[in-house]
Structure 1
Amino acid sequence: MHRALRVVVGLSLGFLTAGVNVLVVAFARKWARPVARAERRRLAWALDLDTAEPTQERAVRYLAVRWLVGLFGGVVLAWLYYGLAMVGVIAYRLVAGATGPELNADDDWVEYLWTALVGVVLLYIEVQGIIGVAALEERVAHRFLGPSEAELLRRRIDELATSRAGIVAAVDAERRRIERDLHDGVQQRLVALGMLLGRARRKPEHAAELLAQAHEESRHVLEDLREVAWRVYPSALDSLGLVEALEAVADRSVIPVRISCPALTAAPQVETAVYFVVCEAVTNAAKHSGATMIDVDIDEGGGVVRVRVVDDGVGGADPAGGGLAGLSRRVLALDGEFTVTSPAGGPTEIRAGIPCA
Structure 2
Amino acid sequence: MTHPARVGVGVAAGVLTAAGGLAFLLAAAVAGAASAVVPPARRRIGALIPRYATTLVRLERRRLGELLGASELPPVRTAGWRDVAYLAARLLPGALGALAFGLLGIGAVLAWILVSATVRGDLSLAEILLQVVIGAVLLLLNVQAIASVGALDVRIARRLLDRDARAALEDRVRELASTRAGVIAAVDAERRRIERDLHDGLQQRLVALGMLLGRARRSRDAERTYALVTQAHEDLQRAVEELREVAWRVYPSALEESDLGEVLGMVAQRSTVPVRIRCDLPVRPDRQIETVLYFVACEALTNAAKHAAATLVTIDIGVREGTVRMRVRDDGAGGAAPSGPGLSGLARRVAALDGRLRVESPAGGPTTVLTELPCG
Alignment of 1:163-312 (within 5 A): 163-205=179-221, 206-263=224-281, 264-312=283-331
| Stretch deviating more after TM superposition (264-273 or 318-327) | 264-273
Bigger Rg, structure 1 or 2: 2
Q: Which residue of 1 aligns with 2:360?
A: 341
2:54–2:80 Cα contact (<8 Å) kept = no
Q: Displacement, 1:259?
A: 1.0
Q: Displacement, 1:233?
A: 1.4
Structure 2 Cα separation of the partners of residues 279 and 266 of structure 1: 18
Structure 2 Cα separation of the partners of residues 10 and 218 of structure 1: 79
1:62-102, Cα deviation, whole Å (9 max, x unpaired): xxxxxxxxxxxxxxxxxxxxxxxxxxxxxxxxxxxxxxxxx
SS in structure 2 opposite 1:316?
A: coil
Asked whether 1:332 is paired with 2:331, we answer: no
2:50–2:81 Cα contact (<8 Å) kept = no
30 and 181 in structure 1: CA distance in 2 versus 1, 3 angstrom threshold: closer
Which structure 1 residue ranges, 5 or more long, are not aligned? 50-144
1:182-240, Cα deviation, whole Å (9 max, x unpaired): 11221111111100111112113132221111111111111111111122212211111
Structure 2 Cα separation of the partners of residues 270 and 334 of structure 1: 8
Structure 2 Cα separation of the partners of residues 47 and 282 of structure 1: 58
Asked whether 1:152 is paired with 2:168, we answer: yes
Q: Displacement, 1:321?
A: 0.3
Structure 1 Cα separation of the partners of residues 331 and 65 of structure 2: 61
2:297 maps to a residue whose letter is V
Structure 1 Cα separation of the partners of residues 334 and 352 of structure 2: 27
296 and 329 in structure 1: CA distance in 2 versus 1, 3 angstrom threshold: same
Structure 2 Cα separation of the partners of residues 154 and 188 of structure 1: 50
Structure 2 Cα separation of the partners of residues 197 and 256 of structure 1: 37
| Stretch deviating more after TM superposition (278-287 or 261-270) | 261-270
46 and 146 in structure 1: CA distance in 2 versus 1, 3 angstrom threshold: closer
1:293–1:311 Cα contact (<8 Å) kept = yes
Q: Which residue of 1 aligns with 2:48?
A: 12
1:10–1:43 Cα contact (<8 Å) kept = no
| Stretch deviating more after TM superposition (7-16 or 264-273) | 7-16
Structure 1 Cα separation of the partners of residues 292 and 312 of structure 2: 23
| Stretch deviating more after TM superposition (20-29 or 223-232) | 20-29
Structure 1 Cα separation of the partners of residues 335 and 85 of structure 2: 42
Structure 1 Cα separation of the partners of residues 311 and 262 of structure 2: 23
Structure 1 Cα separation of the partners of residues 333 and 67 of structure 2: 64
1:176 maps to a residue whose letter is R
Structure 1 Cα separation of the partners of residues 337 and 291 of structure 2: 23
Aligned-pair Cα RMSD in Å: 3.6
Asked whether 1:43 is paired with 2:80, we answer: yes
1:350 maps to a residue whose letter is V
Q: Displacement, 1:12?
A: 2.7
Identity, in percent, stands at 50
Q: Displacement, 1:350?
A: 0.9
2:325 maps to a residue whose letter is R
2:80 maps to a residue whose letter is L
Structure 1 Cα separation of the partners of residues 252 and 63 of structure 2: 67
Alignment of 1:108-119 (within 5 A): none
Structure 2 Cα separation of the partners of residues 267 and 284 of structure 1: 26
| Stretch deviating more after TM superposition (327-336 or 197-206) | 197-206
1:6–1:45 Cα contact (<8 Å) kept = no
SS in structure 2 opposite 1:204?
A: coil
Structure 1 Cα separation of the partners of residues 82 and 59 of structure 2: 24
SS in structure 2 opposite 1:240?
A: coil
2:312–2:330 Cα contact (<8 Å) kept = yes
TM-score between both structures, scaled by the size of structure 2: 0.60
Which structure 2 residue ranges, 5 or more long, are not aligned? 1-35, 87-160
SS in structure 2 opposite 1:289?
A: coil
Q: Displacement, 1:21?
A: 8.6
41 and 181 in structure 1: CA distance in 2 versus 1, 3 angstrom threshold: closer
9 and 351 in structure 1: CA distance in 2 versus 1, 3 angstrom threshold: farther
Q: Pick from 341, 360, 363: which aligns with 1:322?
A: 341
Counting matched residue pairs gives 258
TM-score between both structures, scaled by the size of structure 1: 0.63
SS in structure 1 opposite 2:334?
A: coil
1:290-318, Cα deviation, whole Å (9 max, x unpaired): 11111111111222111111111111111
